[in-house]
Amino acid sequence: MKHTVIAIIFLFINTTLNAQAKDSLITIGKTYSVYSKILKEKRTYSVYLPPSYQRNPTKKYFVAYVLDGGRNKFLEVAGIAQSMNSIPDLKMQIPELIIVSIENTDRTRDFTPTHSLNYLDAENIAAFNSSGGANAFKAFIEKELIPQIDSSYRTLSKNLIIGHSLGGLFAIHCLLESPGLFNFYILIDPSWFWDHNYIGKRTREVLQTKTELQGRVYIALANNFQEDNRHYKWGNEFYELLKNNTSEALDVKLRYFEDEKHLTVPVPATYYGLRYIFEGFELDINEVCKNPDLINKHDMEISRKMGLAFKSDEGFVNILGYIALHDRNIPDVAVAIFEINAKNYPSSVNVWDSLADAYLVKGFKEKAKACYEKILALQPNNVDAKRKLEKVR
């Protein structure tokens, strides 16, 4: 009996500690493996789902594919993306993203478009022996990984690729050889040196015959002058080639990070790259409080830029409405904001309840009653709506 009691106590303590550990655990993603028939090997990737993914079962998301996507890179990009879209902190610089971070097996093989043993003025670099497999890796992403992600998650089929160094080289290869594979590119200090500036030569060839290059391209250059000034020279030449391209569907920007080296530039480049890719996405709270119709104009402009139907986030607009209603005491503006949200999300109980709050502040009891009736039409057993409806009758 004594041993039984001790065992029960031990089990209780152990279970409690495990529960506490789980409660304090911060999980931002999950790692998966898939066997690639194209590459003939197992490939591992991690997926970050934004905070609203489980709460909003109809919302679809942009997907960012991250190269060199080991644990540190996954945490880095997910952290940046999450901090740039944080409704509780009133930050909506970019839309919420699904992040797919692809781990390496042989990065030299996968990221390089040609077989080369050259690095600037040095030849016969043994570390480059496996080079030249970019087409196979591109086929893996296009035919195996992207279909897997699109079938597993609610995606917009508008994809972003983030590549640093050789990863940036691979992303450029995708832009030149498969222009429709990605919509947005963040090229972080790409390996311009590869195969005697292969990218520069190949870009000139492609632009002579292809006019359908498309996408929004951000190029980040680090300060590598102590090593060789050709990195900067070739990066600017590539930028000029794209900028002077006749395709109206191609937008490009270059930024030189004078204070960053090749290995330190990814963090600021990812942040500013995302800002450029989704330029104009952020709604200015002060301006909306002056003119709520800016929400509609903003959504129309973003829809045009992104090539899809876009509506401002329901939760964010709802917060703007309550800021106008309570913090700034401008109920007319609050009503206008909530009405826009209700028009955009007519199946949401929350938007009708918020609109009713604003109507009651204005003294519009009949309009508030109509909101509660809308809620009950959506959810006949909504006790809170029934109670509020009785109260305003």
Low-confidence winner among 17-26, 36-45, 140-149, 152-161 (lowest mean pLDDT): 17-26
| Overall domain count for the chain | 2
Please report whether residue 15 resides in a domain: no
How many residues comprise the chain?
A: 393
Long-range contact set of residues 20-28: C-beta below 8 Å, sequence gap at least 24: 28/75, 28/78, 28/82
3-class secondary structure per residue, 268-311: HHHHHHHHHHCCCCCCCHHHHHHCCCHHHHHHHHHHHHHCCCCC
How far is the C-alpha of 372 from the C-alpha of 378, rounded, in Å? 10
For the ranges 7-16, 19-28, 263-272, the one whose mean pLDDT is highest = 263-272
Please report whether residue 13 resides in a domain: no
How far is the C-alpha of 176 from the C-alpha of 350, rounded, in Å? 46
3-state SS class at 251: strand
Question: Is the domain of 142 the same as that of 182?
Answer: yes
Question: Is the domain of 289 the same as that of 273?
Answer: no
CATH code for position 144:
3.40.50.1820
Among 175, 169, 67, 174, CA closest to 119: 169
Question: Is the domain of 46 the same as that of 194?
Answer: yes
Question: Is the domain of 229 the same as that of 313?
Answer: no
Q: Last residue of a domain, which of 277, 293, 320?
A: 277
- pLDDT-derived band of residue 20, with 50, 70 and 90 as boundaries? low
The pLDDT, as a whole number, for residue 3 is 45
Tell me what percent of the residues of the chain surpass a pLDDT of 70.
94
How far is the C-alpha of 381 from the C-alpha of 361, rounded, in Å? 26
More confident residue, 58 or 210: 58
Please report whether residue 305 resides in a domain: yes
Q: Is a pLDDT exceeding 50 seen at residue 10?
A: no
Question: Is the domain of 270 the same as that of 387?
Answer: no
Please report whether residue 380 resides in a domain: yes
Question: Is the domain of 87 the same as that of 205?
Answer: yes
Residue 29 CA to its chain's centroid (Å)? 14
Question: Is the domain of 254 the same as that of 303?
Answer: no
Question: Is the domain of 254 the same as that of 123?
Answer: yes
Please report whether residue 21 resides in a domain: no
Question: Is the domain of 271 the same as that of 294?
Answer: no
Domain interval for residue 289:
285-392
Please report whether residue 2 resides in a domain: no
Q: Quick one: average pLDDT of 293-297?
A: 97
Please report whether residue 296 resides in a domain: yes
Q: Last residue of a domain, which of 237, 257, 277?
A: 277
The pLDDT, as a whole number, for residue 315 is 92
Q: Last residue of a domain, which of 277, 311, 333?
A: 277
Q: Looking at the whole model, is its pTM more than 0.85?
A: yes
Please report whether residue 10 resides in a domain: no
Question: Is the domain of 163 the same as that of 311?
Answer: no
CATH code for position 376:
1.25.40.10
Question: Is the domain of 247 the same as that of 359?
Answer: no
Question: Is the domain of 75 the same as that of 224?
Answer: yes
